[in-house]
């Protein structure tokens, strides 16, 4: 059994449609994928309707969160939620607010870039987001198309990284609240790539313990942005706190280099996640 519990489609900042994502999973020899677009469940219906026979799809989300820090900017963190009820009102409203915040923030980033002479077009950024949650990868592709960067990765390094003068924060959800909302909606919360330092500051073990006390159920240990040492450390912390360990590719289509299925999750861990969830079922034969 090969299981990849973190992937994105063009419903957020990946480049494959849900059907293309599932075809890519089958072609890579995967048995199970989770669909975890940023702040939206918009891809769930297409995944359920067009799922190839034999592939199991775990509906999920990757929620934009923040971990508060006294006397400093909050640390941005991502929370994976699996098998929750997408209609749970408080959680659904939180996703709507996150998407609205993304929109205003992206307009402001484009305004700042234009004001300093980078002729990026808001209409193009908006079109690339196709009505979904707009993010920096859409700005990156617009910059590449306009000849202002060679690749998406270079667009991040030149203009879109968190230290850039054009960078604007979104109004993220407090991560403890995120954990409680996923649980209230019958889902299983897993902290995504907790030690991905390339994206900025990361949380300490004290925060992981606090989140476990708040109801967090797992840590994403095996992830392309973690070193061997990070993975060993997180496995130890998960053991101490009684948390599940997951692994994934965080596949984004052609917006990132990472192939689907590079890291995986153990079948027993997936069984536990399914057993702990009460919000919805995987899409399966
Ligand atoms: P945002 O959610 O709008 O702040 O954008 C963050 C997203 O950008 C992440 O979820 C990644 O998908 C993507 N990202 C971050 N760094 C890079 C990079 N260097 N190259 C490509 N994509 C990136
Ligand atoms: Fe992303
Ligand atoms: Fe993430
Ligand atoms: Zn992701």
Q: What is the pLDDT of residues 113-138, one digit of tens each?
A: 999 999 999 999 999 999 999 999 99
- The span from the CA of 223 to the CA of 35, in Å, is 16
What are the 10-residue block averages of pLDDT along the chain, 285 residues in total?
A: 98 98 98 98 98 98 96 95 98 98 98 97 98 98 98 97 96 97 98 95 97 98 98 98 98 96 98 98 98
Q: What is the pLDDT of residue 253?
A: 97
3-97+170-276 fold: TIM Barrel (3.20.20)
Residues 158-201 pLDDT 10s: 999 999 999 999 999 999 999 999 999 999 999 999 999 988 99
136 in ligand 1 pocket by Cβ < 6 Å? yes
Query: Is the C-beta atom of 129 inside 6 A of ligand 1?
Result: no
* Residue-range domain boundaries for the chain: 3-97+170-276
Q: Which residues contact 153 (CB under 8 A, 6 or more apart)?
A: 257
Task: Give the model's pLDDT for residue 254.
Answer: 95
CA-closest residue to ligand 1 atom 6: 136
Q: Is 255 in the pocket of ligand 1 (CB under 6 A)?
A: yes
Please tell me the residue having the least CA distance from ligand 1 atom 15.
199
Query: Other CB atoms closer than 10 Å to residue 241's CB: what's the count?
Result: 16
Which pairs from 16-21 meet CB under 8 Å and 24+ separation? 16/253, 17/46, 18/43, 18/46, 18/47, 18/50, 19/46, 19/50, 20/253, 21/47, 21/251, 21/253, 21/260
Residues 79 and 182: beta-carbon distance below 8 Å: yes
The burial of 118, by beta-carbon neighbours within 10 Å (0-12 exposed, 13-18 middle, 19 or more buried), is given as middle
**Cβ 22 vs Cβ 57: under 8 Å:** yes
156 CB less than 6 Å from ligand 1?
yes
- Say what the pTM is: 0.98
Cα atoms in the 13 Å half-sphere on the side-chain side of 91: 30
């Amino acid at each position: 059994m090969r299981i990849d519990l973190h992937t994105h489609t063009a419903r957020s900042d990946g480049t494959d449609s849900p059907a293309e994502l599932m075809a890519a999973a089958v072609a890579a020899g995967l048995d199970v994928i989770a669909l975890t677009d940023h702040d939206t469940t918009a891809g769930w219906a297409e995944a359920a309707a067009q799922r190839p026979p034999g592939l199991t799809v775990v509906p999920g989300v990757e929620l934009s969160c923040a971990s508060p820090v006294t006397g400093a900017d909050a640390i941005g963190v991502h929370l994976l939620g699996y098998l929750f009820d997408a209609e749970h009102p408080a959680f659904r409203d939180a996703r709507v607010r996150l998407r609205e915040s993304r929109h205003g923030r992206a307009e402001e980033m484009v305004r700042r870039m234009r004001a300093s002479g980078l002729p990026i077009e808001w209409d193009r950024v908006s079109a690339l987001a196709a009505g979904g949650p707009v993010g920096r990868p859409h700005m990156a592709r617009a910059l590449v198309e306009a000849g202002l960067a060679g690749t998406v990765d270079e667009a991040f390094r030149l203009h879109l990284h968190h230290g850039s003068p054009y960078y604007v924060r979104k109004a993220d959800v407090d991560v403890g609240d995120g954990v409680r909302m996923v649980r209230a909606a019958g889902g299983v919360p897993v902290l995504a790539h907790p030690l991905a330092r390339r994206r900025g500051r990361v949380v300490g073990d004290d925060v992981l313990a606090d989140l476990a006390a708040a109801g967090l159920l797992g840590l994403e240990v095996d992830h392309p942005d973690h070193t061997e040492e990070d993975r060993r450390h997180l496995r130890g912390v998960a053991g101490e706190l009684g948390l599940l360990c997951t692994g994934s590719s965080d596949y984004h289509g052609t917006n990132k280099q990472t192939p689907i299925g590079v890291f995986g999750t153990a079948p027993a861990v997936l069984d536990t996640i399914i057993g702990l969830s009460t919000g919805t079922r995987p899409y399966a034969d």
